[in-house]
Copies of this chain bind each other. A is one copy, B any other.
Amino acid sequence: MPTPRLTPQQDRAWSLLIGVMTWLPAELDAHLDRAAGLSHAEYQVLRWLSLSEDREVHMTRLAATASVTPSHLSRIVARLEKRELLTRSNDPTDARRTLARLTAAGARVVEEVEPGYAAEVRRLVFEHLDPGQAEQLEGIAEALLTPLRSDCVGLLPPRALRPSDIS
């Protein structure tokens, strides 16, 4: 058991981070609900589906990329299937798996929602950070998420080469 308490600096950073983790998702949830009647988690599912080969992924992988638990994903997919934004089918190569596939209507919804969503992320996050901080944020988030969920970090697009990597 090394240090017993947080340093004042850590304490302050942590308190601020709690605020961000509480209010930032709430804000995006509200935006997406207004824009398309979707929760943030539902939108993440649609978005990752739309980025996948053939717009089709099996549940486990989709859960990892969209940051939801398997049981949560199951309910999300059930809701979205009812709205005909995606369909479920069996994976022919492994009958245990379920494949989720985006429908044309689902793809349309993603296209319609995406610009406003990106604008919202910019307005709430990147407008307030200079380019250096944006890069720091990437490094910090990766450092925190990797030990927390080693499975999902590897599924993201790899870190791009940037000028600062060369020096």
Interface status of A136 (Cβ within 8 A of chain B): yes
Say yes or no: B134 contacts A137, CB within 8 Å. Answer: no
A9 touches B135 (CB 8 A): yes
Across the two chains, which residue of chain B brings its CB closest to A44? B18
Query: Is the pair A122, B6 in contact by a Cβ cutoff of 8 Å?
Result: yes
Q: Size band of the A side of the interface?
A: 35 or more
Determine the residue in chain B with the shortest Cβ distance to A68. Answer: B22
Contact with B along A33-66 (1 / 0, CB 8 A): 0000000000010000000000000000000000
User: A25-B21, A126-B10 known; A156 and B5 CB under 8 Å?
Assistant: no
Across the interface, do A121 and B6 meet the contact criterion of CB distance under 8 Å? yes
Q: Which chain A residues (141-167) contact chain B, with CB distance < 8 Å?
A: 141-149, 152-153, 156-157, 159-160, 162
Does A3 lie at the interface of the complex (its beta carbon under 8 Å from any beta carbon of B)?
yes
Complex: A140 Cα to B23 Cα, angstroms: 15
Contact A3 B124 (CB under 8 A): no
Check B9–A144 contact: CB distance below 8 A. no
Which residues of A (74-104) have their CB < 8 Å from a CB of B?
none
A162 → chain B closest CB, angstroms: 7
Choice from B4, B18, B27, B129 contacting A148 with Cβ under 8 Å: B27
Name the 9 nearest CB pairs between A and B, nearest first.
A16-B141, A13-B138, A22-B67, A136-B136, A19-B145, A128-B143, A21-B21, A17-B141, A23-B148
Taking A9-B138, A19-B149, A133-B136 as known contacts, 13 extra A-B pairs with beta carbons closer than 8 A to each other, sorted by chain A number, are A1-B119, A2-B122, A8-B160, A10-B126, A10-B134, A12-B157, A13-B141, A14-B121, A16-B156, A17-B141, A125-B144, A129-B140, A136-B136
